[in-house]
Amino acid sequence: MEKNRWLRIICFVFMVWLHPEDSCSQESKRDNIWMICGYWIPRAGIDFNAGYADTFSVQRDMDFFLTNASICDTTGQLLLYTNGHLVSNNYHDTLANSFDFNPGHYTNNYFPYGNGALQGALILPVPNHTSVFVIFHESADTFFAHGEYFERPLNLSYSIADLSLNSGNGAITKKNIHIIDDTLVVGRISGCKHANGRDWWVIKRKLFKNEFIKVLVTPDTIIKYGEQAIGTHTKFEDALGVGIFNSDGSKYVNLNYDTTIDILDFDRCTGQFSNLLTLTCPDSIYTLGGCAFSASGRFLYVSTNYHIFQFDTWASDISTSRISVSTWDGVPDTNGFMTAFFAMRLAPDNKIYVTTNWGTNQLHVIDYPDSLGIGCNVRQHGLILPSFTALGLPNAINYSLGGISGSACDTVYYLNIDPHINEEKDFLVFPNPSNGIVNVRSPIGNIRDFRIWVFDELGLSKEVSIVQNTIDLSYLNPGIYLLKVFYKNNFITTNKIILLQ
C-alpha cells in the first residue's frame, strides 16, 4: 500500500512536469475571475489570469451573500455570474429576459443581497455550444413536515443563457425549468465532467433521506438521470452542508453541518457512488463550514470555525490521517469583526482560499495544499481585499477535466459515417449509460435507412427497431453491450452502451 501511494505521488509530479499545460489547460481558465464581495461599493473580485490572486475593484449592482456562481470564456474573461437573484454579463448588466429569475421565498427574503445557500447555483457550458450556458439554481419555500416548519428547496431548476443574443449582451432563453421536484437540502449543487469528456453530471441531495439525485447535461438534453441511496443521514445535514468532487471526479465529499463527512467513490461513466467512508471532524464550539481538495486530489481540507483539518485520502486509513494544520489566531479585522474560518475553495493558482465567518475584507490562504501537515502553510489573513467579502466563494467545478480513455463510455461521436459523403458527420447514441430507452441521431440521411444490432458479451445478437429516433433495450439485463450500426446496409460503426438497473 505504501509503495502504491508513493507511486501515485511520483506519477502526479512527473505528469505536471512533463505536461505543464495539462495542469492548467485552456478550459481551466473558465474559473479565472471571482466576483466575491458584496454590500460595499466599489465591490471587489479576484483575477487569476496572471497566475496569482490579483484583487480588483469594480462598479456593479450585484451583492453576494452565500450563493455565488460565475463562469469565464476559455481565455479567462468573465462571461456570466449570479447571486441567485440576478444574472449579469461581463458588462455587469442584467441579462435580458431574466426578470423573475429563480422565484421563491429565499429569493424574496434575501433580496437584493444574494441568496442564503452555499452552492446555491452552478453555471455550465452546454456541450458543443460556444455561447450557450445552463444555470442550475434553487430558491426555497416554507412547508410543514415531521412536526416542524422547514424553509428548504422544493425543486432544482435550470435556466438557459445564450450570449450570442441581444447584440452580444446575452439573454435568458429558458427560465426556471424544474428538473427535480422534491424536498431538497439547501445548496450543494455540484457536478463534474462525464467520462465521455463532453457531457456533465450534476448532483443534488434530498432532504430527510440519504439519497442523491443525478442530472445529466448533453448537447441537446437535460434529464433527471436517476437516484441513489447512499451515505449517512443526520438531523442537521440540510443546514450549511457542502458537496464537492476532487479534480479528477473520482471522489465526492458530502460535508454535513454536524461534523460528519462522507467520502464516496464516483464512477464518471455510470454516475454511481460507491465505497462510503464516513469521517468525523469535531470542534468543541463551532460546526463545519467548508471543504476543499488539493489539486492532486490527495489531501482533503475541512474547516470548522476554529480549526482547519487535513485528511490524506491516499492513506491506508484515511480516518486516522486527520491533522490540524491551523487554529484560528483570534485576531479580528480592523473593524473588530471576527475572522474565524468558514467556506473554502481550491483556486486556479492551486492555492485554497478560506472566507471568514463575518464577511470581513480578508481571506485566509493555504499556500501549498499538496504538502503534508503544516507544510501546507496556512496564512491567516493572507489576502486583503479592497472591500468586505461575502461569506461564500464562487461555486465552480473542474471545467478542464477530460474524458476517461478506454472506459466503456469514452466515445460519444463517430465520424465519417458514410464514405460517399465528403464532410465529417456524427452518429449519436444517448444517454450512455442508459436505463433502457436510448435515443439515436444522425445528421445524414433518413433514420429509417439505419439498422442497429445489439450484441451481448457472449456475442448473441438481435436487431432492434428504431421507433421515433429511439431504440428500446429495457428488456435486457444490466451490463455492457455493443451496438453495431448499419447505414443503407453498410456497416459504419460499433458503439458501447451501458445499461443500468
Query: The C-alpha cell of 259 is what?
Result: 461534523
Residue 11 pLDDT grade (very low, low, confident, very high; cuts 50, 70, 90): very low
Q: Is residue 393 part of a domain?
A: no
Is residue 427 in a domain? yes
Strand 222-229 versus strand 211-217 pairing type: antiparallel
High-pLDDT (> 70) share of the chain, %: 85
- Per-residue confidence band for 266, with pLDDT thresholds at 50, 70 and 90: very high
- The C-alpha atoms of residue 35 and residue 58 are separated, in whole angstroms, by 9
pLDDT at residue 3 is higher than 70: no
State the Cα–Cα distance between residues 410 and 68, nearest whole angstrom. 32
Q: What is the mean pLDDT of residues 127-149?
A: 90
Q: Examine the domain organization and report whether 320 and 438 are in the same domain.
A: no
339, 451: one domain: no
Per-residue pLDDT band for 223 (boundaries 50, 70, 90) equals: confident
Domain of 452, CATH number, reads 2.60.40.10
For residues 101 and 212, state if they share a domain: yes
pLDDT band for position 472 (cuts 50, 70, 90): very high
Q: Is the peptide bond before 112 cis (omega within 30 degrees of 0)?
A: yes
30-73 pLDDT tens trace: 999 999 876 667 788 999 999 999 999 988 888 888 999 999 99
Please determine, for residue 297, whether its predicted confidence score (pLDDT) is greater than 80: yes
Residue 294 confidence (pLDDT) above 70:
yes
169, 227: one domain:
yes
Whether 406 is covered by a domain: the verdict is no
**Count of domains in the chain?**
2
- pLDDT at 444 > cutoff 70: no
- Can you spell out the DSSP letters for 176-236? EEEEEES-B-SS--EEEE-TTSS-EEEEEEBSSSSEEEEEEE-SS-EEEEEEEE-S---TT
- Residue 309's pLDDT is 95
Is pLDDT of 239 > 70? no
**What is the number of other CB atoms lying within 10 angstroms of the CB of residue 26?**
13
277: in domain: yes
Cell of 175: 427560465
| Neighbouring C-alpha atoms within 13 Å toward the C-beta of 110 | 27
The pLDDT value given to residue 443:
62
Same domain, 204 and 55: yes
Measured on CA atoms in the order 242, 246, 252, 253, is the torsion positive or negative?
negative
Which amino acid would we find at residue 248? D
Which cell numbers hold the place of 20? 505543464
Residue with cell 450570449: 163
Instruction: Using CB atoms within 10 Å of the CB of residue 463, give its burial: 0 to 12 exposed, 13 to 18 middle, 19+ buried.
Output: exposed
Listed range (127-136, 189-198, 358-367, 432-441) with the worst mean pLDDT: 432-441
More confident residue, 421 or 295: 295
Asked if residue 374 and residue 327 are part of one domain, the reply reads yes
Judgement on whether residues 139 and 235 belong to the same structural domain of the protein = yes
Round to whole Å and give the CA distance between 199 and 177: 19
Asked, for residue 392, whether it belongs to a domain, the answer is no
For residue 478, the one-letter residue type is P
Which of residues 3 and 79 earns the better pLDDT score?
A: 79
The whole-number pLDDT of residue 496 equals: 78
- Does 264 score more than 70 pLDDT? yes
Query: Quick one: 347 and 433 in the same domain?
Result: no
pLDDT digits (tens, 9 = 90+) for 395-438: 999 999 999 887 767 655 433 333 332 233 356 788 878 888 99
Stretch (H or E) spanning 433: none
Does position 228 have pLDDT exceeding 50, yes or no?
yes
Q: Which residue has the higher pLDDT, 179 or 61?
A: 179
* Same domain? 132 vs 24: yes
Please spell the DSSP secondary structure of 346-380, one letter per residue.
E-TTS-EEEEETT--SEEEEES-TTSSGGGG-EEE
Q: Are residues 199 and 321 in the same domain?
A: yes
**How many Cα atoms sit within 13 Å of 37 on the Cβ side?**
24
251 with 266: CB under 8 angstroms?
A: yes
Asked whether residue 390 is assigned to any structural domain, the reply reads no
Q: Nearest to residue 182, comparing CAs of 148, 141, 147?
A: 141
Q: Pairing state of beta strands 288-293 and 273-280?
A: unpaired
φ and ψ at 477, to 5 degrees? -75, 155
pTM of the model: 0.79
In this structure, the answer to whether residues 337 and 432 fall within a common structural domain is: no
Q: Residue 125's domain spans which residues?
A: 2-384
Could you report the per-residue pLDDT of 327-361, keeping only the tens digit for each? 999 999 988 999 999 999 999 999 999 999 888 99
* Residue 453: inside a domain: yes
Kindly report the number of other CB atoms within 10 A of residue 482's CB atom.
Answer: 15
In a domain? residue 81: yes
More confident: 44 or 382: 382
Residue 167 has pLDDT above 60, yes or no: yes
Residues 292 and 248 in one domain: yes
